[in-house]
Amino acid sequence: MKLGLSIKFIVCSSFLSLLIACSDTNNAREWLLKNDNLYYKNIAIDWRVESVKGCKTCVINQDVVYQPEGISSYNTLMQSQNWVAVHELSKINVIRLKMPDQTPYLFVERIKGRTLKLFDQQQNYSIKIGEVTAVNFNNQRFSILIKKFEEVDKQSVALPRRASLEFIALKID
């Protein structure tokens, strides 16, 4: 009888472990910023369209800003009217997160090769093109991916400088 109870305990424990493992998988983060793009439930985001495949409450707002350095385009991803991420093609060396209540920013400068420096008056980050890095803006955490960065102006020119910058930023809750 004790052998039967031991087997039942092992079977029940194994079943319970499987249930816990499955529930953890189901609760995995919906959004993931990888070294090439932002993904929703393992499906890459197409920033050119206004909807996100598989997300009924998601909308991509497309906006253009005209500035002396050139035209910058923003694709802001909202889920249930909450800011989730932004994809920007910019003509200056500034990462700006156009959020409803604020627009935090960091300057971008090349250190050497693919290594860049992100900075403002309070902080300084080292980041590589094509690699995701966590940063803090005004006590909020974000993952940043710089896909492309080409300087147009020399580093001796005052900030902000003309550049070709493509980045994705994901808010981490």
Q: For 87-135, how does the pLDDT look when each residue is reduced to its tens digit (9 = 90+)? A: 999 999 999 988 888 888 999 999 999 999 999 999 999 999 999 999 9
- pLDDT bucket at 173, cuts 50 / 70 / 90: confident
Note whether residue 74 is domain-resident: yes
Q: Would you say residue 13 has pLDDT above 50?
A: no
Instruction: Look at the chain and report how many structural domains it folds into.
Output: 1
Note whether residue 51 is domain-resident: yes
Query: In the prediction, which pLDDT does 1 show?
Result: 52
Calpha distance 14→24 (Å, rounded): 15
Note whether residue 125 is domain-resident: yes
Half-sphere exposure of 1 (CA within 13 A, CB side): 0
Instruction: Tell me the mean pLDDT in the region 125-147.
Output: 93
Q: Is the pTM of this model over 0.85?
A: no
Query: In the prediction, which pLDDT does 19 show?
Result: 38
- pLDDT bucket at 51, cuts 50 / 70 / 90: very high
Calpha distance 91→70 (Å, rounded): 6
Query: In the prediction, which pLDDT does 2 show?
Result: 56
Q: Are 77 and 97 in contact (CB under 8 A)?
A: no
Instruction: Tell me the mean pLDDT in the region 22-47.
Output: 79
Q: Are 57 and 79 in contact (CB under 8 A)?
A: yes
- Closest to 61 measured CA to CA, from 70, 73, 43, 71: 73
DSSP 158: P
> Structural domain of residue 118, as residue ranges?
31-172
**Alpha carbon of 14 to those of 2, 4, 10, 17: distances in Å?**
18, 15, 6, 5
Note whether residue 85 is domain-resident: yes
Structure token digits, residue 18: 């499987």
Note whether residue 70 is domain-resident: yes
Calpha distance 166→101 (Å, rounded): 23
